[in-house]
Structure 1
Amino acid sequence: MSRRTVVPVLLVLVVAAGIGLAVFQPWKAFTDTTVNEALPTVSAPAQRKDEAGTKGGAAPTGLAEGRFVSHEHDTSGTARTVRLADGGQVLRLEHLKTSEGPDVRVYLSTQEADAAKKGLGNGAVALGKLKGNLGNQNYTVPAGTDLSKFHSAVIWCERFSVSFGAADLAQVTG
């Protein structure tokens, strides 16, 4: 090969490698991010004051919960929806263990966990980027969201449109 051919080929390979690294982020297969947040007692950012003027309130109330099942990546742990004393709602992921990946997000889905493997379904609500692939974490549910319409919590990779795993949310009784 002549130099006129080698230089452009090398440039194309370098650009392709750069794009591949940016899109696939292969190093994430070898890294973990652990997050251990406490369950909030009231919604952020403001804490409510009771009639005596002190911050605090009743304990959070569990609404629904379920265990994660694996889809495209091994995923385990528990998802819980919780109503806080001030009326705010959070999705809490406990003992989560999944893979890191590019652009991984947390959703509430109208689909059941098995069906979420193929897609989030109409009306899914994005709760934010996955904070870490290990541990305990909280995601604020937007005000006015009717949690009874959602059947699962899903760990979803936006970049590749795949579910890492999902948990059916069954109503807590008693």
Structure 2
Amino acid sequence: MGRVRKALRGRLVAGGLVMAVAVVGFGLYWFQPWKLWQDTTVDEALPGAVASSGPPAVAPSATVAGSGAPADGPSTLASGALVSHEHATSGMVKLLRLADGSHVVRLENLDTSNGPDLRVWLTDAPVKEGRDGWHVFDDGEYVSLGRLKGNKGSQNYTLPDDVDPSRYTSVSIWCDRFDVSFGAAELARA
């Protein structure tokens, strides 16, 4: 009888260890905690901006009405400052119209935490401060512009041609894995 108990106890311990390893492995995969200490910096140039060492290609008087931007360069349609939600987040967001008529969301001087599945969302949700703003962005309409390229720096996200940017009022750095906003910006029209 003692041998049977000992064998059963050994199997239970082995089964418990296998289960514990599986739970820890799943937890590490799902939460990816090491990303909190890893930074990815991306510094993309302003789209449509041409670097030149000579005189400007456009005369100072040739500007887009009301924007102050050169006629052949990007114009700012809306912008706003990022506010923190689930993680400390700062930087600026700009909605730009390029000379070819396409639209881009530009994140400038972004600084947020890294995460397991971060996306850039253009949304129609209002930006709320604090915990009240963590979960509102998937309640209405949104367009995912793709994975966040880096948690630091300046980067560009092209809007699909069939998206009307005037229908959206905010941008969120959205964690798709946990359905939570890391930070967001209300887009104030220029």
TM-score under structure 2 normalisation? 0.79
Partner of 2:98: 84
Alignment root-mean-square deviation, CA: 1.5
Report 1:92-131 matches (<5 A): 92-114=106-128, 116-120=133-137, 121-131=139-149
Aligned mate of 2:27, from 20, 24, 27: 20
Structure 1 unaligned runs (5+)?
43-56
Report 1:38-77 matches (<5 A): 38-41=45-48, 58-77=72-91
The code of the aligned residue for 2:117 comes to: D
Asked whether the 8 Å contact 2:125–2:170 carries over to 1, the reply is yes
**How far apart are residue 110 of structure 1 and its match?**
0.2
Q: Measure the CA separation in 2 of the matches of 1:88 and 1:165.
A: 25
Q: Measure the CA separation in 2 of the matches of 1:150 and 1:96.
A: 20
Aligned mate of 1:143, from 138, 161, 185: 161
Aligned mate of 2:173, from 144, 155, 158: 155
Q: Measure the CA separation in 2 of the matches of 1:78 and 1:24.
A: 27
Partner of 2:10: 3
The code of the aligned residue for 1:84 comes to: L
> Helix, strand or coil: the match of 2:93?
strand
Structure 2 unaligned runs (5+)?
1-5, 50-70
Asked whether the 8 Å contact 1:109–1:116 carries over to 2, the reply is no
The code of the aligned residue for 2:141 comes to: G
Ranges of 4+ aligned residues in structure 1 off by more than 3 Å = none
Asked whether the 8 Å contact 1:109–1:125 carries over to 2, the reply is yes
Asked whether the 8 Å contact 1:103–1:159 carries over to 2, the reply is yes
Asked whether the 8 Å contact 1:116–1:154 carries over to 2, the reply is no
Partner of 1:53: none
